[in-house]
Structure 1
Amino acid sequence: MSSISQADTPHLTLVSSSEPTSKPTSKRIDPVAFLQAITASLDMGRVLTMLNRYLFELVEHSGWEYANSAEGLAFEGGRTDRHRLEYDLALNGADMGRLVLMRGRRFSEAEQERIEGLLGLAAPALKNALAYQTVLTQLESDPLTGLGNRVALFREGAHWLADAVRQSRPLSMLVLDLDGFKRVNDQFGHPEGDRLLKDVAKSLRAATRASDLCVRMGGDEFVILLPGTDLAQAMECAERVRQAIAHCSSETATGVRIGVCASIGVATHRPGLDLDALYAQADDALYAAKRAGRNRTLAGTGCATAMVRDSAQPQAPLC
């Protein structure tokens, strides 16, 4: 491992590289044009895309990856390839994640120097984009459960819906409500209700994929957005979620175990539906499930009807 540092650049730790065999090239970029381009947006994805466009002009890499585990960020572009350069990025002692560049032939020392010079110029823009991402994360997170909130649903959902339409991929939504939750607050108090909501949030994460978006809309209403998921798969996910919640419980200070069950509405995107219409369809199915007896999973209008009910009740009969 070798450390590389330059004035006015981030600290760049070269984690791994190939032996330099490529002939040096004389490619250069206009630093003013580069700075104007990379500072035009605070969106992390756009900043990284612009950075890699200019890196391609220098070294013609075939693929790239960026990851920042502390912020939960992961981006990639192009394709994986044989030879890799991996940089751990830091500025003023702050970790800014890891960037990986790939291509079929090895990177020369001269190319590495140009890469590092460009990363030095890009460092402030990357830092600003990360700060902006942190603010967005805070604005889009539910402070009690750590799940996404309504802002996250409609911001991320708009992107996912556009991708689903463009790529002709399915997109489904679950809307769920905890049956009898008001009685938990009334009987045991809001602190116990909050504790149960946190446990429910953990159950939602455990029953869904990392790529799914779990949201607390407010109170005891939750939404799960499922990219690349058709109706049959969404119904299976909804049933896993329903059963997980039915087995979710918390214990009060006096040793009483309390739990709830859930009614879930499911909807799958069809041509002409926007995100609001998809939510309305799943929400209608939710209330149809409640009217049908609660603790059920029901598909919305326009979907093939399916219903599941488990006779097992949670430990506290509050459904």
Structure 2
Amino acid sequence: MAPQGSLNTDNKPTLAPVVSLARGVEAPDTLRLTTALQTTLDLEQLLRIFSETVQDIVPHQGLTYRNDERRFVLAVGHTGRHHCSYRLNLLGSELGEVAMSRSKRFSEQDLAQIEYVLCALVYPLRNALHYRDALDAAHRDPLTGVGNRAALEDHLRREVTLARRHHQPLSLLVIDIDWFKQVNDRYGHAIGDAVLRAVAHVTQEGLRGDDLLFRFGGEEFVVLLRATPADGAAIVAERIRATIEAASCTCDGKDIKVTVSVGVATLREETGDSLFDRADHALYQAKQQGRNRVQSAQ
């Protein structure tokens, strides 16, 4: 069974449910729920609070939230055989889709109560999405659209911790555009910006879904390669270098050839800062040895 629906709220400034229950269906008490949902702006925590709190109203095994516009899916618990899903809408703005699942079929009364309690989620969900968007904007490079230096610092600490906890390799690439100052001096900064965007795009296209790309600053980019040993990281780095060399950036009718130098390092018993420093030193060696090459750290 997979009933679906769409939940819309009007422009009344209230958290009260706007779903009318059928005669004979008891309205659940949502006071504890609405109070609990006001305690966080973190989207994952919000969904977990919602799922845990409504267990007494409609028992379920799992809850999934999907937002196609922002391209992410969050899940709480486990997926059951039967599910129901609802698209949430506030003032004409799509908030995504919430689905609940369990092994037992949902009754009509269950569905009515789910719709009722979902109304309490709408405003907190809208606020959590706005908060998530603000955090994403603060950690994204506005020119290239990839993560910025602040995002790199946050992810590097987390990835080092995860790599050690799960005993998996972690590698880091530092990529620098060769002779980039000459591009700016000859063609102007607008063309230079176009080259930066092109390099970011080509690099991103050559990465796996779990790999992370950041603009460190200026013409320098950093890639974090999860679960990737040294030899695999060198292969990825060489593929990126060769792809960028083979590509061309056409801007205002000008065909601009670009190359990059890449430093590679793989995590040892060290900090994330040390890992970056070793890759950066390898990059310096690549520059010293003629540019347009990959150099692995010792």
Shared fold (TM-score, shorter chain, > 0.5): yes
- Aligned residue for 1:229? 228
- Aligned residue for 1:287? 284
Q: Residues 180, 210 of structure 1: CA spacing in aligned structure 2 closer, same or farther, 3 A cutoff?
A: same
Write the deviation string for residues 191-249 of structure 1: whole angstroms up to 9, x where unpaired: 11111111111101210123322111121100112223332332222122112211232
How far, CA to CA, are the matches of 1:5 and 1:250 in structure 2?
46
8 Å contact from structure 1 (residues 11, 90) kept in 2:
no
Shift of 1:57: 4.2
Q: Residues 162, 77 of structure 1: CA spacing in aligned structure 2 closer, same or farther, 3 A cutoff?
A: farther
8 Å contact from structure 2 (residues 184, 191) kept in 1:
yes
How far, CA to CA, are the matches of 1:200 and 1:174 in structure 2?
14
Counterpart check, 1:37 vs 2:45:
no
5+ long unaligned stretches in structure 1? 13-24, 302-319
Match of 1:216, SS? Answer: strand
- Aligned residue for 2:268? 270
- Aligned residue for 1:66? 65
Shift of 1:135: 1.0
- Aligned residue for 2:104? 105
CA RMSD of aligned residues (A): 2.8
Structure 1 letter corresponding to 2:183: V
- Aligned residue for 1:179? 178
Write the deviation string for residues 275-304 of structure 1: whole angstroms up to 9, x where unpaired: 322222221221122223322222223xxx
Structure 1 letter corresponding to 2:172: M
- Aligned residue for 1:119? 118
Aligned ranges for residues 298-309 of structure 1 at < 5 Å?
298-301=295-298
Structure 2 letter corresponding to 1:244: T
Superposition TM-score, scaled by structure 1 size: 0.80
8 Å contact from structure 2 (residues 8, 90) kept in 1:
no
Write the deviation string for residues 76-99 of structure 1: whole angstroms up to 9, x where unpaired: 233333222222111222111112
- Aligned residue for 1:154? 153
Superposition TM-score, scaled by structure 2 size: 0.85
Counterpart check, 1:132 vs 2:131:
yes
Shift of 1:178: 0.7
8 Å contact from structure 1 (residues 178, 261) kept in 2:
yes
Aligned ranges for residues 177-216 of structure 1 at < 5 Å?
177-216=176-215
5+ long unaligned stretches in structure 2? 20-24
Q: Residues 233, 119 of structure 1: CA spacing in aligned structure 2 closer, same or farther, 3 A cutoff?
A: farther
Structure 2 letter corresponding to 1:285: A
Structure 2 letter corresponding to 1:172: S
How far, CA to CA, are the matches of 1:78 and 1:208 in structure 2?
30
Write the deviation string for residues 14-44 of structure 1: whole angstroms up to 9, x where unpaired: xxxxxxxxxxx9996x644433433222121
Shift of 1:133: 1.0
Shift of 1:177: 0.5
8 Å contact from structure 1 (residues 230, 268) kept in 2:
yes
8 Å contact from structure 1 (residues 9, 117) kept in 2:
no
| Residues paired across the two proteins, number | 287
How far, CA to CA, are the matches of 2:17 and 2:94 in structure 1?
10
8 Å contact from structure 1 (residues 176, 262) kept in 2:
yes
Q: Residues 297, 65 of structure 1: CA spacing in aligned structure 2 closer, same or farther, 3 A cutoff?
A: farther
How far, CA to CA, are the matches of 2:281 and 2:18 in structure 1?
54
Of residues 72-81 and 276-285 in structure 1, the stretch that sits farther from structure 2 once superposed is 72-81
Write the deviation string for residues 97-148 of structure 1: whole angstroms up to 9, x where unpaired: 1122222222222222232222211222111110011111211111111111
Q: Residues 4, 262 of structure 1: CA spacing in aligned structure 2 closer, same or farther, 3 A cutoff?
A: closer
Of residues 67-76 and 132-141 in structure 1, the stretch that sits farther from structure 2 once superposed is 67-76
Structure 1 letter corresponding to 2:158: H
How far, CA to CA, are the matches of 2:89 and 2:175 in structure 1?
42
8 Å contact from structure 2 (residues 5, 85) kept in 1:
no
How far, CA to CA, are the matches of 2:197 and 2:293 in structure 1?
22
- Aligned residue for 1:15? none
